[in-house]
């Protein structure tokens, strides 16, 4: 039984897992199964038995155990091949990467998601049961302000958490992809962030994951 990733193909969080898997050279060990969230397939008894939260992605291991949450899944994948380059090589490294990743997730990716689900049509009325447009628009402002923060962060570093590509970059990539879908663009005057985007978009893992999406 291979590793199985349950995902809605093209969604930002599953994209994070595809990039991490490609970075670790694990593509041949993973099978992907599409769960159509727009058709509420994430709420079926079959899927809820695997992941009671009803969220994608979820990773089913060879022994049948299931891991949910992107941070947990990426941490597991990072330990499957070579050194833990993505999540941290020692205690200080792990702490810096974890801190940066958390800030990007809260301040950018989740803010874009809240805007998308509350202030746009989102995934449609069958999925978006409750919407608060004012809250959504406020989160768009948060996301746009965080882009400026990221540009400043990249003033003295090549990648989000330092001098190499890590999960902090992966979550930022997912955020930029989601922002583009939600029509939130990176302002042209944010030169550091634009250069980072061009740099990471050229990585084979990112190219492969975006093509699959």
DSSP 19-39: HHHHHTT-GGGEEEEE--GGG
Give the start-to-end residue ranges of the domains of the chain: 3-78, 91-203
* C-alpha span between 170 and 184 (Å, rounded): 18
Percent of the chain with pLDDT over 70: 100
Average of per-residue pLDDT across 155-165: 97
Instruction: Give the CATH fold of the 91-203 domain.
Output: Glutathione S-transferase Yfyf (Class Pi); Chain A, domain 2 (1.20.1050)
Percent of the chain with pLDDT over 90: 92
Average of per-residue pLDDT across 154-159: 97
Average of per-residue pLDDT across 9-22: 96
| pLDDT tops 90 at residue 59 | yes
| pLDDT tops 80 at residue 213 | no
Q: What is the pLDDT of residue 68?
A: 95
55 SS3 class? coil
Per-residue pLDDT band at 197 (split at 50, 70, 90): very high
Selection from 168, 95, 179, 99 nearest residue 145 by Cα: 179
Average of per-residue pLDDT across 153-161: 97
Q: What is the pLDDT of residue 126?
A: 84
Q: What is the pLDDT of residue 82?
A: 83
Phi and psi, residue 69, nearest 5°: 75, 125
- Look over the chain and give the mean of its residue pLDDT values, rounded to a whole number: 95
Q: What is the pLDDT of residue 2?
A: 85
Give, in order, the Cα–Cα distances in Å from 200 to each of 110, 170, 204.
Answer: 21, 9, 9
**Is the domain 3-78 a CATH 3.40.440.10 member?**
no
* C-alpha span between 150 and 31 (Å, rounded): 34
Q: What is the pLDDT of residue 1?
A: 66
- Residue 184 neighbours by CB distance under 10 Å: 19
- pLDDT tens readout for residues 96-151: 999 999 999 999 999 999 999 999 999 988 888 899 999 999 999 999 999 999 99
Give, in order, the Cα–Cα distances in Å from 80 to each of 6, 62, 190.
Answer: 19, 13, 36
Selection from 83, 87, 109, 82 nearest residue 99 by Cα: 87
Token pair for residue 140?
A: 């768009």
Q: Which DSSP state fits 136?
A: H
User: Would you call 173 exposed, middle or buried from its count of C-beta atoms within 10 A (0-12, 13-18, 19+)?
Assistant: buried
- pLDDT tens readout for residues 30-50: 999 999 999 999 999 999 999
């Amino acid at each position: 039984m291979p590793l199985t990733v349950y995902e809605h193909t093209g969604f930002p969080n599953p994209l994070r897992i595809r990039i991490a898997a490609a970075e670790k050279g694990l593509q041949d060990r993973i099978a992907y199964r599409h769960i159509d969230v727009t058709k509420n397939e994430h709420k079926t008894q079959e899927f809820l038995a695997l992941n009671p939260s009803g969220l994608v992605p979820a990773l089913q291991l060879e022994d049948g155990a299931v891991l949910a949450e992107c941070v947990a899944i990426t941490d597991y994948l990072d330990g499957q091949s070579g050194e833990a380059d993505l999540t941290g090589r020692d205690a200080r490294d792990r702490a810096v990467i974890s801190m940066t990743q958390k800030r990007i997730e809260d301040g950018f990716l989740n803010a874009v998601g809240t805007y998308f689900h509350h202030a746009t049509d989102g995934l449609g009325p069958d999925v978006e049961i409750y919407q608060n447009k004012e809250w959504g628009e406020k989160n768009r402002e948060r996301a746009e302000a965080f882009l400026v923060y990221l540009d400043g962060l990249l003033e003295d570093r090549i990648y989000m958490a330092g001098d190499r590509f890590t999960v902090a970059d992966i979550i930022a990539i997912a955020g930029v992809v989601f922002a583009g879908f939600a029509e939130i663009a990176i302002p042209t005057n944010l030169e550091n962030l634009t250069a980072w985007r061009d740099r990471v978009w050229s990585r084979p893992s990112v190219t492969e994951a975006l093509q699959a999406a």
